[in-house]
Structure 1
C-alpha cells in the first residue's frame, strides 16, 4: 500500500501542474459553466489547489458516492460520454482528464471526441500518450507494446498494478479491454480543430491535451 500511496502522490504532482496550466489558459470565472466528462470532485477540490467558483457538471455512467452532491458547485448527471444528454454548445468548457483512453475502441473514442466538441464551446481533453515508456494504468515499462496474449499472462505478476491489487483473471481481462492509448496522430484526427499540447517529463511526451478556445 505504501507503493500505491507514492504512486498517487506522484500523479497528483503532475495533475496539479496540469491544472495550473488549465487555469492560466482558460481563466474560468464564476459565470463559466463547465462540463467534466468522466470526472470526480477531487479533480477540482484536491488536485487543483484553486478555490473555484464556477459550476461543474460531472457526467458519468454511475455515481456510487452520494457525497458528489454535497457540494453545491457540483451537479452529477448520469450519462454516456459517447452520447451526451446536452444540447450543442451547452457549456463554456468541456473538460476531461484521462478518460478517452477508457472508451475501449477507436469508434467509441471518435464518438467521445465528437460529443465533447459538440457540447463545449471550448475544450480541454487530456489523455496519456501511448509513446510514453511507462504505461500509466498498469505501471509497467513498455507494456502497451506487448501482444495482448502476453499482456494477459504478465499483468498479474509483472506490473505494479498487478502486484498491488492482486486482480483475478477476469479483472485483468476487464482492465486490458478497457484501455486504448492514443498516439499524437490519432489525437489530431479526433480533434482537428484543436491545438494538441504535449506534456513532457524528462523530454519525453507523457500525455496529450487537446485545447480549443483558450485565451
Structure 2
C-alpha cells in the first residue's frame, strides 16, 4: 500500500474540523431556517454531520456534483462562481461560511475582494484560515516553509516536505501550490474583516493554529 498524502491529511484534519464545527455552532448558532453559502467548500463537509440549516449552497470555480438520493436529509446545491465576485445580492444568505479557502484565492488584493464579498452577501460570517504565525505550514506539513523567501519555497517544498514528496518532482505542480498559498496574519485578518471578531484556534499554548473571522 503506497503513501497517500490525501489520506494522511484527512486523518490529521478530521479531529480539528470536528472541534471547529463545535466552535461554529457556538459562535454562529445556525438554525433550521437559515440559508448558508459555503464559499470554496464541498458537500462532503456537510453530509458528515446532521443537517444544521435549511439549505447549504457550495460554491466553487468549477461546479461539483451532489448525490441527493444518497443524502435525502440534506438540502444542498452545488454552484459555480468566484468568491472574489459573488453574483448574489447584499444579505442574500443568513450565513456566509468559508473554511481554509481565503489563503488560496491569490494576492492580498484578491483576499480583500474575497473577504468583502463574504461580508456583503452574508448576514452572519464565518471565515477560517491557517495562521501565518504558526510554525507548521499546514498545506506542506513542514516547519517554517511559509516564513522563507517566496523564491526559496518551491525548492524546499519539493525536497523537504510530504507534499513535495507526494508530487514526485512535478515542479510545475509544486510551483502552483506555492503561488496559490498566501497565509494570513492576525493583523491582516483584522484588516480584512474590520467588523468581525477574530477568534484564534491554538495548536499549543500561545501557538496559534488558525484564525476565524466571526460576525454574529
Residue of structure 1 equivalent to 2:52: 52
Matches within 5 A, 1:35-184: 35-46=37-48, 49-63=49-63, 65-67=64-66, 71=71, 73-184=75-186
Task: Indicate conservation of the 8 Å contact 2:56/2:76, yes or no.
Answer: yes
How many residue pairs end up in the alignment?
Answer: 210
Task: Indicate conservation of the 8 Å contact 1:129/1:183, yes or no.
Answer: yes
Task: Indicate conservation of the 8 Å contact 1:68/1:74, yes or no.
Answer: no
Task: Indicate conservation of the 8 Å contact 1:156/1:162, yes or no.
Answer: yes
Q: Which sections of structure 2, spanning at least 5 residues, go unmatched?
A: none
Q: 1:28 Cα deviation (Å)? A: 1.5
Q: 1:66 Cα deviation (Å)? A: 2.6
TM-score calculated relative to the size of structure 2: 0.91
SS in 2 for 1:144: helix
Q: Which sections of structure 1, spanning at least 5 residues, go unmatched?
A: none
TM-score calculated relative to the size of structure 1: 0.92
Partners of 1:193 and 1:171 in 2: CA distance = 37
Residue of structure 1 equivalent to 2:25: 23
Partners of 1:101 and 1:136 in 2: CA distance = 11
Encode CA deviations 1:169-196: one digit per residue, 9 max, x unaligned: 1111111110110000000000000000
